[in-house]
Structure 1
Amino acid sequence: MRAQWLVIALALLVGHGSALAQPRAASPAAHGRWQNDYDRARGLMLDGKFAEAAPLFDGLIARTNDPIERAIARQNAQLCRQWAERGARLHFGKGDLAVAAGDKDRRTSGELASLYISAVVYGLGSGGVVGVYTEPDSAGAGILPSLALAGVSVGGVYILDRQTKLGYGVPQSISTGLSIGLLEGLSWTFWHFSSVNSEDEWSGETIATLIWGAATAGGIIGGVLGHQLGTSPGRAAFLESAARWTGLTAGLALSAIPGDDDQKDDAGFLAGALGLTVGAVGGYFIARTESPSVARARFIDLGGISGGLVAGGLYLSVANDDTDYTPFALTTAAGITTGLALSYYLTRNMDPDAPGAPAASSSLSPTVMPTADGEGMTIGFGGSLR
């Protein structure tokens, strides 16, 4: 869409009362209230709170008989809705004002950097799997394949990004998938070892293949789903956090059930493995509704870490030498849950990070035009929307 527009009279910079020459049917008191509400909506617009400003401008349209006032309110409402949908932000510079919208069809440099880090770790781990199968007889034979595969993984990410133009949130989705897959592989491996006799334990090759395969499958699934369903870095980061914390708290809570140590281990590792999956699914649906940013996901992580440390630390300090695993695990799990819930609530007003259609930046510049009677001037903005 390309809509040319020249003047939004007094939309952002100034009040428009004295510049409008047409008479008003409303009483001075009614118009004063209209002007106050207009100023409030305009303030929200200038603050970049477009979703909040749009309905206020809509309400102003029906409250005035002045055609220019109605046109201004209607135009501002339309702009606010468009900019809110695009995730646009106002940037004030020297002599101009830009309405910049992130390109929601292209990955960000930050999430690509995270994927490169994940690729290095994945490559080193792949080299470890090779070492398990080949049983190298020297340090060089074990280290060099890991370094080579790390380089191959990084090169693969570079080629993938260059050839396919990774979309917004896709690199973070791949990183999230790799992480969740790795944790799933580890959890199921630990559960297996806790639930079988020593003669039935898996071989080193089986363990390495399971963990590597789970991480690989997770990365592929994450990338495909991120590309097909659409996502954002924040949504993917939140999903990873939800999976991790659900698995951890479920594992801690279930490992505290009554019984011997073997039963507790079995229950804890099984609950952790299943909790990862449940948390990932739940995190996906919450993220679709909330569209949290990466920053919000990290603050929620901070809440979980802080809650667990405080609760667990307080228990250890009170119990002193009479510590017992069951109350410690339950207290720590409760602290983590409380910290996550509190940080989730406290960050509810942070800016969202929702996927959106690509949009070019729109530019605005101040305009000054005389009024129809030649006795005043109208100050507004001119530019184009694409």
Structure 2
Amino acid sequence: MSTPDACAPSAEADYSAGFDALVGGDDSKALELFERALAACPQHPYATELARLSRARLQPGGQLATAAASEVGRESRSRGARASLVVVQTMHGAAQGILLCAIGDCSGQGYVAASLLGAGAGAASSLLLTREGITDGQAAVINSGTVWGFWFGVASLLAFDLDSDEAFGAAILGGAGFTGVGILLAHLVNPTSGQVSLANSGGLWAGAVTALFLGAADSNTTQDFFAVELGATAVGILSMAILSKSVAVSRGRMLIIDAGGILGGLAGASAVYLASAGDDSADAILVGSGFGVLGGLALTTYLTRNFDAPDAPQVTLAPLTTKHGGTGVSVFGRF
């Protein structure tokens, strides 16, 4: 959308940036830019109306309908994201309380009290620290850090043959430490839910495929098995996290790709089983399942290459009040 020649280039730039911010859902920034454009060019025919629309969208209940923010791009804060964080961190707090009590050899009442205190601390801290809101991606990376932290703690127990107290300590440190890493990533990187899903899938499938191939080898001790699993999941998470910075992907597409991995694994195992006529070939089935998973992931990734492409105009409706006191609806969008 062009502006009159009478407006200075700086007003043109502010107006264009404000329009992009408004379409992207950043109403506060859009309003600031439109007001700056109007200060430089009061006669601007579009900035006045869009500034009024931005103010309306910022009012409680002022936005009638807005196109859903893309999971591939910048995400807005949502109550659902905050709720998911509270739920997971409540369970995290309860688990930490139980683990601490296990180290301290509490009584039955002590376990109950510790779990309640831990759950309360988890719920209260996640609520208080997100009073200004949180995005789906931020909640996902914090919750994922918690889950992966417990996995690495338990895997360390089995890989390094720790005694019971050391094992509980590893689980406590893993859960708390990786949750802290998730909080840092949420604030410093601010990933989208799609990026977090890609990293999680990388760790999940790297560990699953490695486990299938190691299970077929039949030459690994429990310690060796979980030591390799620790490395495989870590490499999977880190590699996909790095890839997510250059490859845009949504959470929905990742779910479909994960489903493709599951179907591929089942297909690979079934094919080997049927080809062997039901003979005892457990190792071959594990290998077939592993290659099936890899094939399913690769095929689904290719088939869903256009899954996140926009297929409809992005349109926003907002209430409009004219200078003469009339009311109506204003429509704008990106086509």
TM-score range, shorter chain: 0.5 to 0.7
- Which of 215, 224, 228 aligns to 2:175? It is 215
- Native 8 Å contact 2:82 2:134 kept in 1: no
Equivalences for residues 1-80 of structure 1 within 5 A: none
Q: Does 1:242 align with 2:202?
A: yes
- Offset, 1:125: 1.4
Residue aligned with 1:169, SS: helix
Q: Does 1:107 align with 2:77?
A: yes
- Native 8 Å contact 2:91 2:122 kept in 1: no
Letter in 1 for 2:286: A
Question: What do residues 54-104 of structure 1 show as CA deviations (whole Å, max 9, x unaligned)?
Answer: xxxxxxxxxxxxxxxxxxxxxxxx89x94899389xxxxxxxx97647494
Question: Which consecutive unaligned segments of at least 5 residues does structure 1 have?
Answer: 7-77, 89-96, 194-201, 354-360, 366-380
Match of 2:303 in 1: 346
Question: What do residues 313-372 of structure 1 show as CA deviations (whole Å, max 9, x unaligned)?
Answer: 44455557643443232222112222222222222212279xxxxxxx68599xxxxxxx
- Which of 263, 271, 291 aligns to 1:306? It is 263
Change (3 A) 1:275 1:382: closer
- Native 8 Å contact 1:300 1:344 kept in 2: yes
- Which of 231, 241, 265 aligns to 1:274? It is 231
Match of 2:59 in 1: none
- Offset, 1:216: 1.5
Question: What do residues 201-231 of structure 1 show as CA deviations (whole Å, max 9, x unaligned)?
Answer: x221110111221122111112212321231
Match of 1:92 in 2: none
Match of 1:63 in 2: none
Instruction: Please give the alpha-carbon distance, in whole angstroms, between the structure 1 residues aligned to 2:253 and 2:298.
Output: 13
- Offset, 1:288: 1.7
- Native 8 Å contact 2:149 2:175 kept in 1: yes
Letter in 1 for 2:87: I
Q: Does 1:226 align with 2:183?
A: no
Instruction: Please give the alpha-carbon distance, in whole angstroms, between the structure 2 residues aligned to 1:283 and 1:350.
Output: 19
Q: Does 1:323 align with 2:292?
A: no
- Which of 181, 189, 192 aligns to 2:160? It is 192
Equivalences for residues 94-243 of structure 1 within 5 A: 100=67, 102=69, 104=74, 106-138=76-108, 140-162=109-131, 165-167=133-135, 169-193=137-161, 202-243=162-203
- Offset, 1:174: 0.4
Letter in 2 for 1:182: F
Give the superposed CA RMSD: 3.9
Q: How many residue pairs are counted as aligned between the two chains?
A: 272
Instruction: Please give the alpha-carbon distance, in whole angstroms, between the structure 1 residues aligned to 2:181 and 2:283.
Output: 37
- Offset, 1:115: 1.8
Instruction: Please give the alpha-carbon distance, in whole angstroms, between the structure 2 residues aligned to 1:305 and 1:288.
Output: 25
Q: Does 1:86 align with 2:46?
A: no
Residue aligned with 2:141, SS: helix
- Offset, 1:168: 5.7
Letter in 2 for 1:268: F
Instruction: Please give the alpha-carbon distance, in whole angstroms, between the structure 2 residues aligned to 1:241 and 1:322.
Output: 33
Instruction: Please give the alpha-carbon distance, in whole angstroms, between the structure 2 residues aligned to 1:203 and 1:141.
Output: 22
Change (3 A) 1:137 1:253: same
- Offset, 1:121: 2.5
Instruction: Please give the alpha-carbon distance, in whole angstroms, between the structure 2 residues aligned to 1:159 and 1:191.
Output: 37
- Offset, 1:278: 0.8
Letter in 1 for 2:24: R
Change (3 A) 1:109 1:311: farther
% identity of equivalent residues: 22
Question: Which consecutive unaligned segments of at least 5 residues does structure 2 have?
Answer: 5-15, 27-63, 311-315, 321-329
Instruction: Please give the alpha-carbon distance, in whole angstroms, between the structure 2 residues aligned to 1:189 and 1:315.
Output: 34
Change (3 A) 1:99 1:136: closer
Change (3 A) 1:317 1:206: farther
Instruction: Please give the alpha-carbon distance, in whole angstroms, between the structure 2 residues aligned to 1:324 and 1:203.
Output: 36
